[in-house]
Amino acid sequence: MSEIKTIEITKPDDWHLHIRDGEFLPDLLGHTASQFSRAIIMPNLRPPVTTVDLANAYKARIKAALPKGSQFEPLMVLYLTDNTSASEVKKAKEHGVVAFKLYPAGATTNSDAGVTDLKKCSAALEAMEACGIPLLVHGEVTGIEIDIFDREAVFIDQVLEPLRIRHPGLKIVFEHITTKQAAQYVKEADTARYGVMGATITPQHLLFNRNAIFTGGIRPHYYCLPVLKREEHRQALVEAATSGNSRFFLGTDSAPHIKGTKENACGCAGCYTAWHAMPLYAEAFENANALERLQGFASEFGADFYGLPRNTSKLILKKESHLVPDEFPMGSGTVVPLRAGEMLTWSIVG
């Protein structure tokens, strides 16, 4: 008889999620709300969510689209621009906005309104230091002369380290880290002299290396930004996520795109993992013999970082295989999840 394995953990939160807007919300939200109590909602809409008023309106649309009776709580983030004012930062803090997001201009989906030079944001960053609101960074430089696989490592030297020195009180989350350099930087960051540091890690960066994008042909549903890296980097991320170090916590970066915009001559970046996020993380932690560390990573360290209470309800996962559907409805189109048509080893049972 095969061993039946069940794990019960404190209900997790997703500290990095894209759910888009409008007709897409009702189709996508249930996937996240069935596993997570809260999620940080990324602001890279078109136009981006740059003000408290826009964030409040977006939050109201999300709440209206939630499945009936859902207790899910969207946590709002503002999109930092060259023009973000110190007064908007203060207002954000007063209205419960949890963070600002730095998209270097041109780095990824809907980032054309992003920051062209962080020095233009000095007043906003000083206000963030003063009121303790974190900056979430998409950590890639954008210069076309920089190899796509090096963009994160170069960001550390050219942008992140100077930023921490210029703004020593700034709390920073290095989002969706993908390299051993980023894991090491976060692990070793001097938070006594400079601001507190955290990092999120996605399920795809724990489970796959860059070969996954090219196995037997080009596989657009494995393409996200920052792009998957070499195996040595995947291993460093697994080590960080399963180490019990509270600087590393869960952020899926689930990023749905309509099927045709990914299966395309110039396909969009983003992996859709909201439907099966916790089974994917459980598989990665089990592969590393570290299931007992899943709860800290998924349900405790992120809440602690943001100064929010840990959840009290539970999530139960069972070692039971099930199939990832080929696609899900997304408005008038469909979205293809990561590992579509393949078997997962863990299921959510409560």
* Smallest gap from residue 330 Cβ to Zn ion (A): 17
Nearest one of 279, 273, 203 to 242, comparing CA atoms = 203
Which partner in Zn ion, ligand DOR, none is near 44 (CB below 5 to 8 A by kind)? Answer: ligand DOR
What DSSP line would sit under 223-241, residue for residue?
A: --SSPP--HHHHHHHHHHH
Task: Please choose which of ligand DOR, Zn ion, none residue 221 contacts, taking the beta carbon within 5 to 8 angstroms, the exact cut-off set by kind.
Answer: none
Minimum distance of Zn ion from residue 286's CB (angstroms): 25
Q: With respect to ligand DOR, which residue has the nearer C-beta, 12 or 139?
A: 139
Is residue 253 part of the annotated active site? The answer reads yes
Question: Are the beta carbons of 81 and 113 closer than 8 angstroms?
Answer: yes
As a whole number of angstroms, the distance between CA 228 and CA 270 comes to 11
CA 334 to chain CA centroid, Å, is: 22
37 binds, among ligand DOR, Zn ion, none (CB under 5 to 8 A by kind): none
Binding site for ligand DOR (CB under 6 A): 18, 44, 108-109, 138, 224-225, 255, 269-270
Nearer to Zn ion, 140 or 253 (CB): 253
Q: Would you give the binding string for Zn ion spanning residues 248-287, x where CB under 5 A is met?
A: -----x----------------------------------
Task: Please tell me the number of Cα atoms within 13 Å of 340 on its side-chain side.
Answer: 15
Question: Which of 27, 253, 304, 326 is the catalytic position?
Answer: 253
- Omega before 325 within 30 of 0, i.e. cis: no
Residues 260, 262, 268: CA angle, nearest 5 degrees: 130
339 touches, from ligand DOR, Zn ion, none (C-beta below 5 to 8 Å by class): none
Do 84 and 50 touch, CB atoms closer than 8 A? yes
| Contact residues for Zn ion, defined by CB under 5 A | 253
Q: Active-site residues: which are they?
A: 253
